Structure 1
Amino acid sequence: MKRKTFITLIFVLSFVCLIVIMGGLLYAWYVYRQVHHQLM
């Protein structure tokens, strides 16, 4: 029971990290486009 909870916790944490990384990349790409557009 405890081991299953531990595995589930790791799975959830890795999933959250993946979402955060994807969100960060999208945000960085958006900011880069905005700055690039202003410079042009």
Structure 2
Amino acid sequence: MRATFLVLTLAVMIFGLAACNTVQGAGRDVQEAGDAIEDSAD
């Protein structure tokens, strides 16, 4: 029982960190696209 709980907790933590990195990467991509549009407008 404790082992199952530990494995599930670790899995949630790993997927949570992966999701944060994915969102952060998507944010950077959107920011870079916005910067490129801004630069081309100048």
SS across alignment from 1:21: helix
* Structure 1 Cα separation of the partners of residues 9 and 40 of structure 2: 46
Q: CA deviation at 1:3?
A: 1.1
> Unaligned 5+ residue runs, structure 1?
none
Aligned to 1:17: 21
TM-score by length of 1: 0.86
Q: Percent identity?
A: 13
Q: Which has the larger radius of gyration?
A: 2
- How many aligned residue pairs are there? 38
Q: CA RMSD in A?
A: 0.6
Q: What is the one-letter code of the residue matched to 1:32?
A: A
Q: What is the one-letter code of the residue matched to 1:11?
A: F
Runs of 4+ in 1 over 4 A off after TM superposition: none
Q: CA deviation at 1:8?
A: 0.3
TM-score by length of 2: 0.83
